[in-house]
Structure 1
Amino acid sequence: MSLCFDLNDLEDLTVYAKQIQDNVLEDILTLNANTEYLQRFLHGSSDRELFKKNVPVVSYDDIKPYIDRAVNGEPSHIISGKPITRFLLSSGTSGGKQKIFPVNSKYFEDMAFIFAQSASIISKHVKGVQQGKSMTFNFARAQFSTPSGLPISPAMSSYLMSEYFKNRSSNCYTSPDEVTLCPDSKQAMYCHLLCGLVQRDEVVSVGAVFASTLVGAITFLENNWKEMCTNIRSGHVSEWITDFTCRDVVTNIVGGPNSELADVIEEECRKESWKGIITRLWPKTKFIQSVVTGQMAQYIPILEFYSNKVPMISPLYASSETMFGVNMNPLCKPQDVSYIFMPNISYFEFLLADEGNKGEIVDLVDVKIGCCYEPLITNYFGLHRYKMGDILQVSGFYNNAPQFKFVCRKNSTLNVGVEVTTEEDILKALNHATELLKSSDLILMGFTCYADISKLPGHYVFYWELKSKTVNDIVKLDNKVMVECCCVLEESFNAFYRKLREREGSIGALEIRVVQQGTFNSLMEFFISKGASTSQYKSPICIKSSEALALLEDKVLARFFSDKSPPL
């Protein structure tokens, strides 16, 4: 007997997760069994057990030759049973290199579905959110064409240019689409903020895909609020906004001179501290919506400072490879965020992330609470049992669908020898070290790190951009505090690191290099110039690019070293 599911209903999706996953795999194999890639393993069969027995677990390098052939114009059926209509470009900032993924309209249908589910969940937890607007910092990077003539652009840009975004049922944003689609990210950021300021009494939430973008928006406002006040006071948009489609629509929103509003904004922005600036300028703000898990957790303290600790909602988990799931408890603390996987989007398997694991792979509904896994993705567009490199921990179940906490990126690690310091280790250590900054009235605006092995012994280097909590105040570095920050970082690392550090000659003293203000904005601009998307940009925890390292080195103001070995 076949079961009928309402694939828009969370209860059905989660109660019948196993059956829906089985159906998804059957659909994918029926569509793709005769592709050149799967034909090698399945010989035209769509049998589920044969798939699990014969199809190998792969990384990007394994499937890249097939994707490259499709990019260069060979038929879609190399890897996809349905025609490929465009390619997505990953940010390249977390994994160290950009990747290209084939998709068709189903990807954007899934994205719209995930966004709708998340919005529905949030509206149930936050009263009145549908009666206001969101000041959301979305950016669409200009697309270009592959040699085959198909468009290629980052996932979020592709969605923003799609019919699914243009034909959405309601518009809840302060910014018109012309601003979101403006290809110049500086002009778009200015216009996003100007539209948000003019409509300040309607704003009930502030959002961006990633927390780093929100911090960048507030920094941009800090540097440009005087000019924006001039625009509001005169009713004219600055002449350097040369995207005329964007300029015309923003001029219409500004709606003529408004000295009273300009005075209110000016009064807030002139104050000595920008603590709570978000709720001061947008007093009806109920929450901030942005991903604050994983490497974005570093921005939680600065966003709390800017927002007077309004709730931070980390709404969903998604990637260029597939949509994953949504946060069912949006008002939870950032450190408690879990995502429930939607079983109707891709077929998910899980590789146990355990050093003693012999390759054990389990289905979505068979994961165990408390265990850590690396997800394997089988989607409709040519990825089969694909390892994307995230490590997730099962935190619970909603009906029969598991909920996962994001732990770290698997390939985001530091080492100068045989030790391995993970992204999770780094973020935990950073939390401990930045507690010491409170005594100096400083805020960490951005960080990254790398293992310097140019000299022996190799050592860890952290680049920190610091800012005073008082506007325009010079950053005063206390040598004792900074050295102690170095020591606390080391003390927070795992026992193996501490043991090797104590042995003379194995690992050198950890170093913090303080860089000029604005350095991490320059780092973002560097990666964007290399093809990263403004919306999808994630400041890398571990720097892999020699060009990016050279940029950081050019901005170093001061260097500090730990002055003792960490206790074992």
Structure 2
Amino acid sequence: MYRVWTRERVFTSILSRRKRKTPGGLVARPVLTSYYKSKQFKTRPYDPYNVITSPNETILCVDSFQSMYSQMLCGLIMREEVLRVGAVFASGLLRAIRFLQLNWEELANDIATGSLNHKVTSPSIRECMAKILKPNQELAELITNECSGENWEGIITRLWPNTKYLDVIVTGSMAQYIPTLDYYSGGLPKPCTMYASSECYFGLNLRPMSKPSEVSYTIMPNMGYFEFLPHDPSAPAFSRESPPRLLDLADLEVGKEYELVITTYSGLNRYRVGDILLVTGFYNKAPQFRFVRRKNVLLSIEADKTDESELQKAIENASLLLREFSTSVVEYTSYADTKIIPGHYVIYWELLVKDPANSPTGEVLNQCCLAMEESLNSVYRQSRVADNSIGPLEIRVVKNGTFEELMDYAISRGASINQYKVPRCVSFTPIMELLDCRVVSKHFSPSAPHWTPERRS
């Protein structure tokens, strides 16, 4: 017996971000937020295959708690109609699951009583939710039974039993979240349909059900003018006297890496996107690419992107707090810890303490964490302050000699002692284990960094 669906509900976590101003006075906000606030989104035509469980009022609210709470409430109420669950990025979906873990009791109470939590103060949200929220004791009991235990494996299919797949981006830096997504979803498919950015749509995945690690995108030549810069990390930097040679689509070779350069209909001219792509083949004459990484990006949890120079500057600013203790940072490395939600930056420090009797206290090192966060870019600070999508930065102080052991380990695996450089970001499990077993103290940022949203006029 087949069940006929009149509409395909999508439970997706969509959070609008506050606008901000650039140093030059221009208003800036993410492209998706601009779309959600546009007339095109608000008056979009009805699509029976893409009906979002979240009313517009819940999406447009810039208060992350009120927006997430009301969207989660709608998703639970319409659980039987939901065929796919998702967010823009994998990290966003996991943040929604973490939100559910923290707030399921209040959500269940709202459903049982048919009254909206007093923490949701937005008049527009309260008005629209009054039309949706009705007492449902049976659903409240189901949510309580599923969420009250310690086992959250497969929670997505337990709460949304008709879910067919997860609608999230899991390529690039988001691939680190795949094991956690599999745990919460029971291994649901994670199709990757397209490759796009704020600047332009680039390509389509013609095999959307392929594994995330095997995804290749076919470039759509009609979306812009695409050129490619051969990527060779060992090559010397370009200069005005020796400008880079850009290649057209037809000049690319399978197995080689390129940096994407675009000229768009909206006015970008030979813009370096910063994405490194690997050519995997051709579809007819259009090249197919696998996304390799962002150029120069060391750390990323969600929309944030921190490169080596920015991390170095943050370390230098934080080190100023150590001067009065005659202490300096000898070496450092980092990694993005996504094992807990929300993820956070972890910085390993090896310190040189000249006067052990006057070594920096734990409170000082906590302030070093905050000083680093204050030095990072606005996107990072907004994620920390407004979106709560990144946790407090952590500094782990390691024993003296740890980075010498790290070098010895690299040399034992074939690295040249003359060319060895301390990696500024690590992810290889044996290296992580080496660093963690040498940690002597852990410190966290005691408060959120400064970030001011653009005030409404």
Q: Give the TM-score band, short-chain normalised.
A: 0.5 to 0.7
Matched with 2:9 is 133
Which amino acid is the alignment partner of residue 552 of structure 1?
L
SS at match of 2:44: coil
Matched with 2:258 is 373
Instruction: Deviation per CA, 1:286-341: give whole Å up to 9, x if none.
Output: 11111111111111111111110101122322222222122222111111122222
Aligned-residue offset at 1:144: 6.2
Which amino acid is the alignment partner of residue 553 of structure 1?
E
1:275 equivalenced with 2:153 (yes/no): yes
Query: Is the 2:219–2:286 Cα contact (8 Å) retained in structure 1?
Result: yes
1:553 equivalenced with 2:429 (yes/no): no
1:409 to 291, 294, 307: 294
Sort the Cα spacing of 1:536 and 1:266 in 2 relative to 1 into closer, same or farther, 3 A: closer
SS at match of 2:121: coil
Aligned-residue offset at 1:244: 1.1
Sort the Cα spacing of 1:328 and 1:131 in 2 relative to 1 into closer, same or farther, 3 A: farther
Sort the Cα spacing of 1:174 and 1:149 in 2 relative to 1 into closer, same or farther, 3 A: same
Mapped partners of 1:342, 1:167: distance in 2: 28
Instruction: Deviation per CA, 1:445-485: give whole Å up to 9, x if none.
Output: xx9996778657523233636459xxxxxxxxxxxxxxxxx
Mapped partners of 2:83, 2:168: distance in 1: 14
1:167 equivalenced with 2:43 (yes/no): yes
Matched with 1:509 is none
Mapped partners of 2:394, 2:182: distance in 1: 29
Aligned-residue offset at 1:387: 1.1
Mapped partners of 2:122, 2:378: distance in 1: 23
Query: Is the 2:177–2:338 Cα contact (8 Å) retained in structure 1?
Result: no
Sort the Cα spacing of 1:294 and 1:194 in 2 relative to 1 into closer, same or farther, 3 A: same
Instruction: Deviation per CA, 1:11-54: give whole Å up to 9, x if none.
Output: xxxxxxxxxxxxxxxxxxxxxxxxxxxxxxxxxxxxxxxxxxxx
Could you say which structure has the higher helix fraction?
1
1:394 equivalenced with 2:270 (yes/no): no
Sort the Cα spacing of 1:182 and 1:460 in 2 relative to 1 into closer, same or farther, 3 A: same
Query: Within 5 A, what are the aligned runs for 1:299-310?
Result: 299-310=177-188
Sort the Cα spacing of 1:456 and 1:199 in 2 relative to 1 into closer, same or farther, 3 A: closer
Mapped partners of 1:528, 1:134: distance in 2: 28
Instruction: Deviation per CA, 1:460-512: give whole Å up to 9, x if none.
Output: 233636459xxxxxxxxxxxxxxxxx9xxxxxxxxxxxxxxxxxxxxxxxxxx
2:88 to 180, 186, 209: 209
Query: Is the 2:64–2:387 Cα contact (8 Å) retained in structure 1?
Result: no
Aligned-residue offset at 1:553: 3.3
Mapped partners of 2:165, 2:386: distance in 1: 19
Query: Within 5 A, what are the aligned runs for 1:215-254?
Result: 215-254=94-133
Aligned-residue offset at 1:150: 7.8
Query: Is the 1:376–1:388 Cα contact (8 Å) retained in structure 2?
Result: yes
Query: Is the 2:91–2:174 Cα contact (8 Å) retained in structure 1?
Result: yes
Q: How many residues align?
A: 350
Sort the Cα spacing of 1:463 and 1:329 in 2 relative to 1 into closer, same or farther, 3 A: closer
Mapped partners of 1:161, 1:456: distance in 2: 45
Sort the Cα spacing of 1:382 and 1:410 in 2 relative to 1 into closer, same or farther, 3 A: same
Which amino acid is the alignment partner of residue 66 of structure 2?
Q
Aligned-residue offset at 1:143: 4.0
Sort the Cα spacing of 1:164 and 1:149 in 2 relative to 1 into closer, same or farther, 3 A: farther
Sort the Cα spacing of 1:266 and 1:297 in 2 relative to 1 into closer, same or farther, 3 A: same
Query: Is the 2:296–2:307 Cα contact (8 Å) retained in structure 1?
Result: no
Query: Within 5 A, what are the aligned runs for 1:252-271?
Result: 252-254=131-133, 256-271=134-149
Which amino acid is the alignment partner of residue 198 of structure 1?
I
1:153 equivalenced with 2:26 (yes/no): no
Mapped partners of 1:537, 1:154: distance in 2: 16
SS at match of 1:390: strand
Instruction: Deviation per CA, 1:212-245: give whole Å up to 9, x if none.
Output: 1111111111000000000000001101111111
Query: Is the 1:448–1:462 Cα contact (8 Å) retained in structure 2?
Result: no
Aligned-residue offset at 1:145: 7.5
- Structure 2 spans left out of the alignment, 5+ residues: 237-241, 301-305, 320-327, 342-346, 348-365, 414-457
Query: Within 5 A, what are the aligned runs for 1:327-366?
Result: 327-354=205-232, 355-356=234-235, 359-366=244-251
Mapped partners of 2:377, 2:271: distance in 1: 29
SS at match of 1:408: strand
Mapped partners of 1:262, 1:335: distance in 2: 39
SS at match of 2:188: coil
2:199 to 302, 318, 321: 321
Which amino acid is the alignment partner of residue 337 of structure 2?
W
Aligned-residue offset at 1:178: 1.0
Sort the Cα spacing of 1:529 and 1:213 in 2 relative to 1 into closer, same or farther, 3 A: same
Aligned-residue offset at 1:534: 10
Which amino acid is the alignment partner of residue 328 of structure 1?
L
Mapped partners of 1:352, 1:240: distance in 2: 53
Matched with 1:37 is none
Mapped partners of 1:184, 1:231: distance in 2: 19
TM-score (norm 2): 0.67
Which amino acid is the alignment partner of residue 170 of structure 1?
Y
CA RMSD of aligned residues (A): 4.1
Instruction: Deviation per CA, 1:94-128: give whole Å up to 9, x if none.
Output: xxxxxxxxxxxxxxxxxxxxxxxxxxxxxxxxx99
TM-score (norm 1): 0.54
SS at match of 2:116: coil
Mapped partners of 2:282, 2:338: distance in 1: 39
1:458 equivalenced with 2:337 (yes/no): no
Query: Within 5 A, what are the aligned runs for 1:88-127?
Result: none
Aligned-residue offset at 1:142: 3.9
Query: Within 5 A, what are the aligned runs for 1:520-531?
Result: 530-531=381-382
Mapped partners of 1:391, 1:456: distance in 2: 32
SS at match of 1:165: helix
- Structure 1 spans left out of the alignment, 5+ residues: 1-126, 415-422, 424-446, 469-485, 487-515, 540-547
